[in-house]
Amino acid sequence: MALNNLTVNLVTSWESRRKQNRKTTMLREASVVLICLVLLLGVLTGVEGFVPSTIQRKTPSFGLPTRLADSSGDFPGFEGVDLEQVLGTLKFKKLKRKLKRKKNQAIRDAEAEAIKDANRAAHDARTRANLESKIEKLKKKALKLIISGAPASGKGTQCAIIKEKFGVVHLSTGDMLRAAVAAETEVGKTAKSYMDGGKLVPDEVIIGVVKDRLAEEDCASNGWLLDGFPRTQEQAKALEEAGIYADCFIMLNVPDDDLIERVVGRRSDPVTGEIYHMTFKPPPEDEEIRGRLEQRSDDTEEKARVRLEQFHTNVDAVKGSYTKICVEIDGTLTPDDVSEKVAKAITSKVKK
């Protein structure tokens, strides 16, 4: 009886230890599998430092020599971890090949993008050189140009650039009227009588002033640029009837809200004549200069909207008179970008 009890106790104890060992083994294996999954997830997602350093340092070696699988830096965040041992040689090599393909593809993409950038730069350089060559050739031709746009659309800036690039004579109706009055020409005297009486100078008188000015030697030799004229369809027809034709009609387009912002922020220096804008072209940080700046009486939002309404009333009819030679340009771009587009427009419309 005692022997039987001893036998039962031994068997029970052995079974208990076997079950305990089995649980320990299963927990160990589960821990290893979990570590492998964490490491693999970190590699596949490419998240640097995904695995805590404590796990990296304590990865079991399974009784095999520990090798530094990432001495080359192929697997950021897994320095000191023997990934080949953890993942198995086959999976590890497959992973390295995949990573190598990605790296090679990234290198090829970067090289391709660099080639594209170089080609674009070379193309832009050739385009600019070609444009400059065309401009030089057109300087020998007496160009006949008209530029139009709402108040504050940038006509003044572009007129100065066009004058410098193409060598044309820049003309505005106000300057021409004042010059005709000062020279006491016949049309100048007629214009003066209206101006002195506070009346608008009629179109026929303005056309006479323009026609006389365009016939002068500098305009005949160098060409001309009419700034903001004609303003109405009647003036456009009168120019045509007078035998005055343009090579290119440039239209600067700027949204009304942008125009209002440009107008109300505009200031002028009565001493130097310099024009500033409180937002886009601020004056120098000089109290004397800032103190003497002036704002035109009509540079208010209310008056600017009235001028815009008048401009919009006639602009479509004026453009309709120059359909074949009209080029519309986005005036919201930088002055340099607008200038480049204007130059391209002129070279494309002017007959060689």
Decide the pairing of beta strands 275-277 and 266-268. antiparallel
Whether the bond between 255 and the residue before it is cis, its omega within 30 degrees of 0, is no
- Three-state DSSP string of 148-163: EECCCCCHHHHHHHHH
Task: Output the pLDDT for position 297.
Answer: 82
- Please confirm, yes or no, whether 296 is among the known catalytic residues: yes
- The answer to whether the beta carbons of residues 173 and 210 sit under 8 Å apart is yes
Spans in the chain with pLDDT lower than 50: 47-72
Write down the catalytic residue from 144, 155, 341, 349: 155
- Please confirm, yes or no, whether 144 is among the known catalytic residues: no
Give the integer Cα–Cα distance in Å for 39 and 100: 19
For 322, residues 6+ apart whose C-beta sits below 8 A from its C-beta are 146, 236, 246, 249
Give the integer Cα–Cα distance in Å for 352 and 348: 9
Q: Could you list the beta-strand ranges (E) of the chain.
A: 143-149, 169-172, 223-227, 248-253, 266-268, 275-277, 326-330
Which tokens go with 175?
Answer: 């300057």
- The answer to whether the beta carbons of residues 294 and 137 sit under 8 Å apart is no
List beta partners, residue 224. 144, 169
For 159, residues 6+ apart whose C-beta sits below 8 A from its C-beta are 147, 170, 225, 227
- The answer to whether the beta carbons of residues 84 and 69 sit under 8 Å apart is yes
- Please confirm, yes or no, whether 231 is among the known catalytic residues: yes
Write down the catalytic residue from 144, 165, 213, 231: 231
User: Residue 209's closest CA among 196, 59, 230, 338?
Assistant: 230
Domains (range + CATH), the chain: 2-87 (no CATH), 141-254+300-349 (3.40.50.300)
349's enclosing H/E stretch is helix 335-349
- Please confirm, yes or no, whether 102 is among the known catalytic residues: no
Task: Output the pLDDT for position 323.
Answer: 92
Task: Output the pLDDT for position 4.
Answer: 55
Task: Output the pLDDT for position 9.
Answer: 58
Residue in the structure block whose two tokens are 């007496």: 142
Task: Output the pLDDT for position 79.
Answer: 60
Give the integer Cα–Cα distance in Å for 141 and 124: 26
Which tokens go with 282?
Answer: 């601020």
Question: Could you read off the pLDDT of 298-312 as tens digits, one per residue?
Answer: 888 888 898 899 889
Write down the catalytic residue from 213, 266, 267, 341: 266
Write down the catalytic residue from 28, 67, 108, 296: 296
Report phi then psi at 198, rounded to 5: 75, 20
- Please confirm, yes or no, whether 292 is among the known catalytic residues: no
Task: Output the pLDDT for position 63.
Answer: 39
Task: Output the pLDDT for position 62.
Answer: 40
Question: Could you read off the pLDDT of 26-44 as tens digits, one per residue?
Answer: 766 666 666 666 666 655 5
Cα R_g (the chain), whole angstroms: 41
Exposure letters 250-289 (e unless 16+ CB within 10 A, then b): bbbebeeeebbbbbbbbbbbeeeeeebbeeeeebeeeeee
